[in-house]
A and B are shown apart, each in its own frame.
Chain A
Amino acid sequence: MKCKIAQERIVTAAYGELADEQAQELERHLAGCAECDKEREQLLALKVLAGAYPVVEPDANLAVRSRLRLAEALDALPPRRWYDRLGQRVRNNVASLQAAPVAACLLLAVGVGAGVLGGNELAMNRARHAAAVQAMQAQSQPAPAAVSTAPAEIANVSSIVRQPNSHRVEVRYNQLVPQRIEGSLDDPAIRQLLMLASENSASAGVRDDSVGLMAAECKAGHGCQKAAGIRDALMVALRYDKNEGVREKALHGLEPYVAEDVRVRDAVLEALMNDGDPRIRTAAINILEPVEADTSVRQVLYSVSNSDSNPHIRNVSRQVLNSVPEIQ
């Protein structure tokens, strides 16, 4: 991925509008590109800073005053006559009727299309039937062996070649062959598969299992170094997994690294600001304890204490801010 695209995607990702696949692609790019990673940090800082100019609830007096002024203006309007309303209704009906010819043309086109396709299909069936009869009669070679594989196991068809002047066809296809591997959690191949499962599995259960195992390893401080990749996989799961259970496990797995790794801290801060599940936002506050005096953490806590939809979370973040001595 080019840095220009990555930097655009950083913005959409920060605002929760990047598709999962692109988000994972972006994470991989960021893991290897310090410049773009710095861009993300700066954007996160901007998001925090922008919280210092908060949206305030309009004063109740302002709403009442505005409403009264509007009511006066509406009262002053001349009442709508019956012919105004009739005219409006006619205009609306005309507008909806304008679409009628288009709809009629579409229906006609669909009808004609269906007729042509149906006729074509019928003619082709007849031709196929005749060809099959002819082939059976003229067959001089044994029938080709049926594909023994169930269709579900065929990954794709890579080429089809018809032999000249013959009914014989060569089809090359690839099969999916299920595999199994068993080994220690220290085995790099097992770890690789766990990371893959945490990102790609369509099953939330599999993602939960893989993230749970990796989180337990990280909690135990076992093989979770920066370069090992497991920490990155947990950050991806925390940011993007749709399942809250998976995100919660990932968050707990990252807990020991929040003080030493700024990227982990950023991921936890993002969870605190953006995660839809209040349990995870609350857990994120607790996890941030070792770095509560950090400026970016305080800014986020401040923002959350003002704007989180959950009163408990607002309260907890205020208490934390209260308990931490003022930064020098």
Chain B
Amino acid sequence: MLARAPEMELIREAQAGSRAAFDTLVRQYEQQVLRLALHLTGSEHDAEDIYQEAFMKAYRYLGNFRFECSFYTWIYRIVTNLCLDQLRRRKTRREDRSVILDHSGGEIDVLASVSDDRSFSNPARELDRKLLGERIQTALEKLTPRERMVFELKHYQGLRLRVIGEMLSTTEETAKNTLFRATKKLRTQLAGLR
């Protein structure tokens, strides 16, 4: 992450209309935005849309940013809201999430793509791991969008509950309770796997 002072300068320049400063901010945060959107939606196409919409909103409303929270929290708030909308839409049309879809609609196996370079992998283990990954994905999809988001931000993105509360415009306590509910549901879902 950028040091605080240069980032402030960049934001001020972008607020004053500098497109170069805005592009630098985009480059600074784009990997994190894509990583979150890709893991949550499981689709490169959706992740790309969320990226587009998030940074367009950021550009449009950057003038409203008044340094009351970190820019990271502000941009993540935009992204999490867009992802939540996407997850809510998903709830109505559940898809097979054992694979993610690339921009052309082709299938990419997330789990396989991680272990391609692993010399010790073998087909039987790959299969077990893939099945396990699918079970996890299915269990995650059974959470409410908000539970899914809190679990994602805490477990996979490693954010503090206070920050998660800020991003979701709620309190740390509520985020904690939501995390508790999410882990309880996931444990029930995955009980047979241990």
Nearest CB of chain B from residue A52's CB, rounded to whole Å = 4
A52-B129, A66-B52 in contact; A47/B137 too (CB < 8 A)? no
Q: Please tell me if the beta carbons of B125 and A58 are within 8 angstroms of each other in the complex.
A: no
Measured between beta carbons, the chain A residues less than 8 angstroms from B183 are 11, 43, 46
Measured between beta carbons, the chain B residues less than 8 angstroms from A15 are 154-155, 161, 179
Which parts of A275-328 form the interface with B (CB within 8 Å)?
Answer: 306, 318, 321-322, 326
Nearest CB of chain B from residue A117's CB, rounded to whole Å = 32
| Bound Cα distance from A138 to B47, whole angstroms | 87
Residue A17 CB within 8 A of the other chain: yes
Stretch at the interface among B2-10, B77-85, B87-95, B110-118: B110-118
Q: Please tell me if the beta carbons of A17 and B26 are within 8 angstroms of each other in the complex.
A: no
How many of chain A's residues touch chain B, expressed as a range? 35 or more
Which parts of B26-43 form the interface with A (CB within 8 Å)?
Answer: 26-27, 30-31, 34-35, 38-39
Q: Please tell me if the beta carbons of A73 and B56 are within 8 angstroms of each other in the complex.
A: yes
| Bound Cα distance from A58 to B51, whole angstroms | 12
Choice from A49, A67, A88, A326 contacting B136 with Cβ under 8 Å: A49
| Bound Cα distance from A70 to B47, whole angstroms | 13
Measured between beta carbons, the chain B residues less than 8 angstroms from A46 are 183, 186-187, 190
Residue B142 CB within 8 A of the other chain: no
Q: Please tell me if the beta carbons of B187 and A70 are within 8 angstroms of each other in the complex.
A: no
Q: Please tell me if the beta carbons of B35 and A55 are within 8 angstroms of each other in the complex.
A: yes
| Bound Cα distance from A318 to B59, whole angstroms | 44
Choice from B22, B26, B44 contacting A62 with Cβ under 8 Å: B44
Residue A160 CB within 8 A of the other chain: no
| Bound Cα distance from A95 to B129, whole angstroms | 53
| Bound Cα distance from A12 to B115, whole angstroms | 31
Nearest CB of chain B from residue A261's CB, rounded to whole Å = 19
Of all chain A residues, which has the CB nearest B37?
A58
Q: Please tell me if the beta carbons of B186 and A66 are within 8 angstroms of each other in the complex.
A: no
| Bound Cα distance from A48 to B180, whole angstroms | 17
Residue A186 CB within 8 A of the other chain: no
| Bound Cα distance from A70 to B22, whole angstroms | 11
Choice from B34, B129, B136, B160 contacting A63 with Cβ under 8 Å: B34
Residue A171 CB within 8 A of the other chain: no
Which parts of A88-116 form the interface with B (CB within 8 Å)?
Answer: 88, 91-92, 95-96
* Between-chain CB contacts (< 8 Å), 28 pairs: A8-B176, A8-B180, A11-B183, A12-B179, A15-B179, A17-B176, A43-B187, A46-B187, A50-B156, A52-B132, A53-B110, A54-B110, A56-B38, A57-B35, A58-B47, A62-B103, A65-B103, A69-B52, A70-B56, A77-B59, A85-B17, A88-B15, A88-B63, A91-B63, A92-B64, A92-B66, A322-B119, A326-B125
Apart from A46-B186, A318-B120: 13 A-B pairs, beta carbons within 8 A: A11-B179, A12-B179, A46-B190, A47-B155, A50-B186, A54-B110, A56-B35, A56-B38, A57-B31, A63-B34, A70-B26, A96-B66, A326-B125
Closest A-B pairs by Cβ, 8 of them: A58-B34, A88-B63, A53-B136, A52-B132, A322-B120, A66-B51, A45-B194, A52-B133
Q: Which residues of A contact B (CB under 8 A)?
A: 7-8, 11-12, 15, 17, 42-43, 45-47, 49-50, 52-59, 62-63, 65-67, 69-71, 73-74, 77, 80, 85, 88, 91-92, 95-96, 306, 318, 321-322, 326
